[in-house]
Amino acid sequence: MAKILLVEDDKNLAMLVKDGISFENHIVDIVHDGQEGMDVLRSVNYELVILDWDLPKVSGLEILQNLRARGSHTPVLMLTGKNQIIDKERGFQSGADDYLTKPFHIKELSARITALLRRPSLLAASDITVGDLKIDLTLHRVTRNGNEIQLARLEFAVLEFLVRNKGQVFSNDVLLERVWPVDSERSPESVRTLIKKLRNKLDNGGPTLIHNVHGVGYKFEAPKE
């Protein structure tokens, strides 16, 4: 699972892409013009950015150049109708990690996304095991002591993030920035509500896994054996 930004002005195509790659359990945020895309990238961290080239206000190429000028190494896939060799050269020279021309097949896009995310080993492991908790990233399945726990997509994303960074404390604001989709309710109360639901599902009378650090935030910590 990864948090992905899609910058695409064709709203129908954007929804088709979002629906197609959401089956991989990715969280996909969509913006429809270049200026909004640039603004979002200044305030939210993503594991991957998918950029159209011809966008209103600011082009995808300008967004890419700005991203690299700020020192960001976030993988970027250009998804565009510009199919000339010179266009591809400009895209790669500006810092694109991959370049896919329209029209395209959603399965090819999905395969390229997976390959890009694996470069920094973000998705290299197929499962995570901590104590009696097991997270199957491929099947989007969580078990504790062998008992399956049904989690909503955002609950799964929060758990995966905390487990990958176990022992570290994250504030409400950081969780909202790193995990929450931009088109969902984003408030400290939404974090508290989700964490409460997640704890109830995970613990179910057993030792607590997600701990509240008073006045600071939350951390994942497995019980000591």
Segment 142-168 mean pLDDT: 91
Amino acid at 167: G
Based on the domain organization, do 81 and 165 belong to the same domain? no
What phi and psi values does residue 148 have, to the nearest 5 degrees? -75, 140
Q: The domain that contains 82 carries what CATH number? A: 3.40.50.2300
Name the residue among 17, 123, 5 with its Cα closest to residue 74.
5
Judge whether 224 and 174 are in contact, CB under 8 Å. Answer: no
Query: Each residue of 84-112: pLDDT tens digit?
Result: 999 999 999 999 999 999 999 999 999 99
pLDDT in tens, 10-49: 999 999 999 988 777 788 999 999 999 999 998 888 999 9
Which tokens go with 220?
A: 């994942």
pLDDT for residue 120 is more than 70: no
Domain endpoint, select from 89, 118, 147 = 118
Q: Are 182 and 134 contained in the same domain?
A: yes
Neighbouring residues of 73: CB distance < 8 A, sequence distance ≥ 6: none
Examine the domain organization and report whether 12 and 70 are in the same domain.
yes
Indicate the pairing of strand 210-213 with strand 76-80. Answer: unpaired
Statement to judge: residues 131 and 201 lie in one domain:
yes
Q: Three-state DSSP class for 111?
A: helix
Dihedral through CA 94, CA 103, CA 74, CA 111, nearest 10? -130
Torsion angle, CA of 148/225/160/139, rounded to 10 degrees? Answer: -30
Question: According to the model, what pLDDT value does residue 118 have?
Answer: 80
Query: What 8-state DSSP symbol labels residue 73?
Result: -
Distances (CA, A) of 29 to 4, 101, 118, 171: 6, 21, 20, 21
Containing structural domain, residue 191 = 127-220
Residue 27 belongs to some domain of the structure: yes
CA 140/CA 46 separation, integer angstroms: 20
CB-based contacts of 114, cutoff 8 Å, min separation 6: 24, 123
CA 115 to chain centre: 15
Q: How many of the other CB atoms lie within 10 Å of CB of 14?
A: 19
Do 12 and 95 sit in the same domain of this protein? yes
149, 67: one domain: no
Please give the helix or strand (H or E) that residue 34 lies within, else none: helix 34-43
- Contact of 178 with 45, CB cutoff 8 Å: yes
Global confidence as pTM: 0.65
CB 97 within 8 A of CB 76: yes
Query: How many other C-beta atoms lie within 10 A of the C-beta of residue 154?
Result: 17
CATH number at residue 193: 1.10.10.10
In this predicted structure, what is the pLDDT of residue 123?
46
- Residue 225 included in any domain: no
52 pLDDT higher than 50: yes
